[in-house]
Amino acid sequence: MRIATLTPGVRDTVIELGLGDWIVCAPDTPGWHPAGSTPRATITPMVDQHSIETATLGHRGVGSEGRHLIDVTVDFDEVLRSNPDVILVETDCSGCGVQSGTPAHSLGVHGDDPKVVTVHPVGLEDELGWIGPIGTLLGVTERAVRLQTVRAARLLALRMHVARYLTRTPGTRLPTVAVANFDPGTGLWSPPSERGRQLINAAGGVLIPLRNAPGDIVMNPADIVLVGTRGVGDANSDHPGLRAYLAGGSPNLTSARSIWSISPDFLLNAKGPGVVGAVETLLRAIFPAALGANGTLPPEHLVRPVLTG
């Protein structure tokens, strides 16, 4: 089967299902797996956001007549030139598929030749919830159910580590976390997305404030500051956001318990099966005490300490 994946989450799902060799078109924006994991045709960036009409993606024009917003850069002519049998895409539209399970997420199958499969995840569990249905569509049901079960159990275990630690150590409060994410394209500091808040929360952190940048007036500085640069995948690098933050005289420089350089595209926007790895990585930086003897440092290419108090 020839699979076109338009967004990193579904791309990573196909790779985790062991079907990476079937991908004929994939976004050049990396997900949890490096972009080089699928050395096939990549999608050429066109615009920051694009509305798709699922009917036009099928050669025979059968499907929904609605337009659905996706947060990805796409050249649809290039997608169709890859001659896929199925196109997988995450959308920001809850109405683009048949509601499945809770109203929080939906999975829809539109048209034919190629078949267009749209998913709309909201929470972390939703990202795992449609691994099974996608696997069934691709003919690997047993493998998909196993992957979904294992990842869901791991995510639950990570949440339970935090809950168990709080129960066993009365009076302990969750560490507060601020995010300073630099966009080199605009020169501005961006607040974390809703997905970033979900990941930080699952890792035992409390996100405050919604935005943290040099020069901000911070009445209650966070315990931990995560500093990243949009589009930079290696936390080891001396990236623009880190340089600007350390030079900016933020009040958190003297009051934060620790400052970490992070790869924000991985850790604050994780999609698909990668949400579990993102939560575990953040947990090791934000609340390692919850892991006890297993609270080793996270991978330095994703998050590394810059300043610790």
Q: What is residue 58's predicted lDDT score, i.e. its pLDDT? A: 47
Q: What is residue 37's predicted lDDT score, i.e. its pLDDT? A: 62
Alpha helix ranges (H) inside the chain: 8-16, 54-57, 76-81, 124-129, 131-137, 141-168, 194-202, 240-247, 252-255, 264-267, 274-286
- pLDDT of residue 61 exceeding 60: no
Q: What is the pLDDT of residues 175-198, one digit of tens each?
A: 999 999 999 888 888 888 889 999
Q: What is residue 35's predicted lDDT score, i.e. its pLDDT? A: 57
**67-76, 77-86, 119-128: the lowest-pLDDT one:** 67-76
Tokens 């990202």 correspond to what residue? 127
198 touches 268 (CB < 8 A): no
> What is the pLDDT averaged over residues 250-275?
80
Task: Give me the percent of the chain exceeding a pLDDT of 90.
Answer: 35
Q: What is residue 14's predicted lDDT score, i.e. its pLDDT? A: 93
Cα–Cα distance measured from residue 83 to residue 234, given in angstroms and rounded to the nearest whole number: 33
Q: Which residue has the higher pLDDT, 155 or 98?
A: 155
**7-11, 75-79, 202-206, 232-236: the lowest-pLDDT one:** 75-79
Q: What is residue 24's predicted lDDT score, i.e. its pLDDT? A: 87
**133-147, 148-162, 181-195: the lowest-pLDDT one:** 181-195
Q: What is residue 101's predicted lDDT score, i.e. its pLDDT? A: 41
Q: Is 306 helix (H, G, I), strand (E, B) or coil?
A: strand
Q: What is residue 49's predicted lDDT score, i.e. its pLDDT? A: 43
Grade residue 246 by pLDDT with cuts at 50, 70 and 90: confident
**109-118, 211-220, 294-303: the lowest-pLDDT one:** 211-220
- pLDDT of residue 50 exceeding 50: no
237 CB-near residues (< 8 Å, 6+ apart): none
Residue-range domains of the chain with CATH: 3-139 (no CATH), 171-308 (3.40.50)
- pLDDT of residue 237 exceeding 70: yes
Q: Are strands 206-207 and 176-183 parallel, antiparallel or unpaired?
A: parallel
pTM of the shown model? 0.84
Q: Which residue has the higher pLDDT, 231 or 153?
A: 153
